């Protein structure tokens, strides 16, 4: 039984799982937050798709014998040609890519054999080598892909061969940039190591904006390969974000401003166990960032707890700090490392157990079910008195601090992004 908003998703998913004739009954959408009598009325009414009584359909679906077609077995062949062989103008070929949903709606570079071959020179890996697999979300099937297929999408994004190892690292992560959820997720990629200078990436003024070729192209390539190599981003099937997220275009991809980090403040990849001379991309998942007060003044002790209250208790937290702020935190406030600041934030951003339990979306839907199974610390927090204090972020390790910006203002942004994985870029050179 499925609400009408997920009709296409349910039917396409059933087909992929080998059950194209599964018996589905649809009810009006939404049911979340609706009064009990309204939802009961849905069940007692007619299926808005078929016009038949819903309860009759449910009974029939559970009691009618399976047909021969229902019990059929076998495989559905889905051959994918290596080349799109069409003799037409470049303009019409580009439109063919748009019409088939192979683009992000922006102009592309046609991936001719010559251009793909040139892109492949950016890596020592063979064109037919398997890079990894990716899926829109855990219930969906994972697709695998080769170096050549990643190169096709790199060409489409406008990449050059020197960008290719970083794009391969993104593909090797197995993390789609278009995760399917009704709440419109986004991804973020943070690059560390010598590759920053090699590609002339921008970690300073305007690092998060559309002002640098490598920042923009590598981030966009992540979107294209997610669409074409994992089936992500199919509206109504593998993408259900109600409003969508404009971060999906280039996925907040930027390098950390390592050069301006003071002594003791290690860059992100070193915190993850890599050597300073290694090039690494770290991948984050979240929804967005909050533009806090225009500047970061000496009352940061109240600023940080204030702004983190807008982050759900179930989420992680990432702080994007301008290097000027970091230098002030070290010089005037005595924070000698990211870890020291992280631990302070963890210890000083709390809420009452009552407030935590009443958080509707994340705690009620996701945390309480695992707490009831005995998972800690949630199982213990559920038993606390209403006025007891619990951390807003469940573990200090879920707080990340990143240096980015050009030191023109004491500016910072807190958000709910959490570190998913880090991948070596050097492996793909």
More confident residue, 91 or 17: 91
Distance CA 126, CA 109 (A): 23
How confident is the model at residue 429, as a pLDDT?
Answer: 98
The percent of residues above 70 in pLDDT, for the chain, comes to 97
How confident is the model at residue 336, as a pLDDT?
Answer: 96
How confident is the model at residue 360, as a pLDDT?
Answer: 56
CB 251 within 8 A of CB 210: no
Q: For 155-267, where are the E strands, in sequence order?
A: 186-192, 253-255
How confident is the model at residue 104, as a pLDDT?
Answer: 94
Tell me the per-residue pLDDT of 330-371, one tens digit each, with 9 for 90 and over: 998 899 999 999 999 999 888 888 888 877 566 767 777 888
Mean pLDDT, all residues of the chain = 90
Backbone phi and psi for residue 424, each to the nearest 5 degrees, phi listed first: -70, 130
Tell me the per-residue pLDDT of 377-427, one tens digit each, with 9 for 90 and over: 888 888 999 999 988 888 899 999 999 999 998 888 999 999 999 999 999
Element (H, E) at 412: strand 412-415
Tell me the per-residue pLDDT of 233-283, one tens digit each, with 9 for 90 and over: 899 888 989 999 999 989 999 999 999 999 999 999 999 999 999 999 999
Query: Where does residue 68 rank: exposed (0-12), middle (13-18), buried (19+ CB within 10 A)?
Result: exposed
Which residues pair with residue 317 across a beta bridge?
A: 399
Structure tokens at 317: 């937290």
Query: Residue range 86-92: average pLDDT?
Result: 82
State yes or no: pLDDT of 298 exceeds 60. no
How confident is the model at residue 297, as a pLDDT?
Answer: 59
State yes or no: pLDDT of 117 exceeds 90. yes
Distance CA 55, CA 62 (A): 11
Q: What is the distance of C-alpha 188 from the center of its chain?
A: 7
State yes or no: pLDDT of 87 exceeds 80. no
Distance CA 349, CA 342 (A): 11
Query: Residue range 27-41: average pLDDT?
Result: 87
State yes or no: pLDDT of 51 exceeds 60. yes
How confident is the model at residue 361, as a pLDDT?
Answer: 61
The percent of residues above 90 in pLDDT, for the chain, comes to 59
SS3 73: coil
Distance CA 47, CA 401 (A): 50
Q: What is the distance of C-alpha 53 from the center of its chain?
A: 40
State yes or no: pLDDT of 45 exceeds 80. yes
* Stated pTM of the model: 0.89
Distance CA 190, CA 207 (A): 11
Mean pLDDT lowest for which of 119-128, 140-149, 160-169? 140-149
Angle (CA) 268 269 273, round 5°: 120
SS3 195: helix
Q: How many CB atoms lie within 10 A of CB 191?
A: 26
Structure tokens at 324: 């000027």
Q: Number of helices (H) and strands (E) in the chain: give both, helices first.
A: 16, 13
- Domain segments of the chain as ranges: 2-63, 90-293+417-428, 350-391
């Amino acid at each position: 039984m499925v609400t009408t908003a997920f009709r296409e998703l349910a039917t396409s998913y059933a087909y992929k799982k080998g059950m194209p004739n599964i018996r589905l009954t649809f009810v009006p959408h939404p049911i979340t937050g609706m009064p009990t009598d309204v939802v009961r009325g849905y069940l007692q009414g007619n299926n808005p798709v078929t016009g038949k009584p819903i309860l009759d359909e449910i009974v029939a679906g559970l009691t009618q014998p399976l047909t021969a077609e229902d019990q059929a077995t076998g495989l559905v062949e889905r051959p994918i040609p290596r080349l799109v062989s069409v003799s037409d103008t470049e303009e019409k070929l580009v439109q063919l890519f748009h019409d088939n949903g192979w683009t992000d709606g922006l102009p592309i570079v046609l991936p001719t054999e010559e251009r793909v071959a040139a892109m492949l020179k950016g890596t020592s890996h063979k064109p037919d080598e398997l890079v990894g697999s990716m899926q829109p979300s855990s219930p969906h099937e994972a697709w695998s892909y080769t170096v050549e297929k990643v190169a096709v999408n790199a060409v489409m994004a406008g990449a050059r061969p020197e960008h290719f190892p970083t794009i391969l690292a993104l593909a090797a992560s197995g993390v789609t940039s278009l995760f399917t959820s009704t709440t419109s997720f986004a991804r973020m990629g943070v690059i560390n190591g010598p590759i920053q200078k090699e590609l002339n990436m921008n970690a300073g003024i305007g690092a998060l904006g559309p002002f640098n070729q490598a920042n923009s192209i590598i981030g966009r390539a992540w979107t294209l390969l997610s669409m074409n190599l994992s089936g992500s981003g199919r509206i109504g099937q593998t993408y259900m974000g109600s409003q969508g997220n404009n971060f999906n275009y280039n996925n907040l991809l930027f390098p950390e401003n390592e050069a301006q980090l003071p002594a003791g403040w290690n860059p992100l990849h070193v915190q993850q166990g890599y050597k300073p001379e290694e090039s690494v991309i770290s991948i984050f998942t979240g929804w967005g960032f909050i533009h806090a007060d225009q500047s970061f003044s000496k009352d940061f002790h109240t600023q940080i707890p204030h702004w983190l209250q807008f982050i759900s208790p179930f989420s992680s937290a990432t702080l994007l700090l301008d290097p000027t702020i970091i230098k002030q935190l070290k010089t005037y406030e005595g924070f000698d490392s990211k870890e020291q600041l992280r631990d302070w934030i963890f210890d000083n951003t709390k809420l009452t157990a009552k407030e935590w339990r009443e958080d509707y979306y994340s705690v009620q839907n996701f945390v309480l079910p695992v707490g009831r199974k005995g998972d800690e610390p949630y199982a213990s927090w559920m038993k606390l008195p209403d006025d007891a204090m619990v951390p807003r972020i469940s573990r200090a390790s879920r707080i990340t601090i990143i240096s980015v910006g050009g030191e023109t203002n004491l500016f910072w942004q807190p958000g709910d992004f959490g570190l998913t994985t880090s991948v070596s870029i050097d492996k793909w050179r």
